[in-house]
Amino acid sequence: MNIHHLELFYFVAKHGGIAAAVRNIPYGIQQPAVSGQIAKLEESLGTKLFQRRPFALSPTGTELFEFIRPFFENLDVVAERLRQNSSPQLRIAAPAIVLHDYLPQILQRVRAKFPAFRLYLHEATRTDAERLLLARDVDLAIMLLDKKSRAGIQVKPLLELPLILLVHKKSKLTRAGELWKRDKIEETLVCFSRSDPVHSYFQRGLDRLGVEWFCGIEVTSERLIQQYVASGYGIGLTVAVPGFKPPPQLRALSLSDFPPVVVGVAWSGKLSDIARQLLAELDTEAETQRARIGKTGSRSVATSFSRARP
């Protein structure tokens, strides 16, 4: 028997059908592929393992599932025990700016409690981070949170980040509200992809105002937004951080009536001791940032964990 076929059958039997299994398998695979692999498994065994509609395991399927279930359900437990017996490891997914500018200082505090550990860093967007978490390829992910996380992922909000618009210094706009009064906004919106939480939060704010303005230029980094706005391609949508100062050729317009995006940390499954320590340090850093913002009287909140892409 093919071990991969057994793994797919385990998910089908556990979740009660092929469609439900596809939603819970911790890596990308389409429903037709799963159906095909299960058919090959049944062919190799010479028997049907389950009834498709309504779903029900056959006696043979029940016997096979009970046999393989302990193996697949205990894989994570064994892996964690093996990791703990060796030097601890910490695997983190986050946007490039977090990994480059902010995480090194926080990791120094983790190192005070765990002097020796192996570190693995993954530069990842929110979608990539969720995939890595579900596949158990990372322990923690720092990312923007949207309304609903994928099944199997736990999240802890850290801070909120206010949205802002970036305009060229020569622009006659002084307030974002001037745009909403127009019959049609002619300027091109430069922003992250339409599937990105920043764009989603912005569109929710526009919907409440009854305004239509969609992304015209999609980019993958904060630097590209600034570059294209400075070059006269349109108006940029981004997120402010404490002490944010736009480049000399740009100005920032507040979007105080728009919902802020939420930055947080996510994980899947049981956290190791070192991952829990990093989670505690991230929470402490978030508290520090909230206290600083409170003293300045600014709206809760921007943070060092800013919106960014490589």
> How many domains does one find in the chain?
3
At 180, list the tokens.
């909403």
Query: 182 to each of 16, 187, 188, 191, 304, how far by Cα in Å?
Result: 53, 11, 14, 20, 35
Residues 141 and 268 in one domain: yes
Residues 290 and 141 in one domain: yes
Cis peptide, bond prior to residue 54, ω within 30 of zero: yes
pLDDT of residue 298: 40
Answer yes or no: is 99 within a domain.
yes
258-289 residue pLDDT tens: 988 888 999 998 898 999 999 999 999 888 87
Answer yes or no: is 69 within a domain.
yes
Residues 228 and 99 in one domain: no
116-146 residue pLDDT tens: 888 999 988 888 898 899 888 999 999 988 7
pLDDT exceeds 80 at position 115? yes
Across 154-165, average pLDDT: 92
pLDDT of residue 178: 95
What single string gives the DSSP state of each residue in 23-55? HHSSS---HHHHHHHHHHHHHHHTS--EETTTT
Q: Which of 44, 73, 102 is the last residue of a domain?
A: 73
> Residue 46 sits in a domain of what CATH number?
1.10.10.10
186 and 214 in contact (C-beta within 8 Å)?
no
- Boundaries of domain holding 19: 3-73
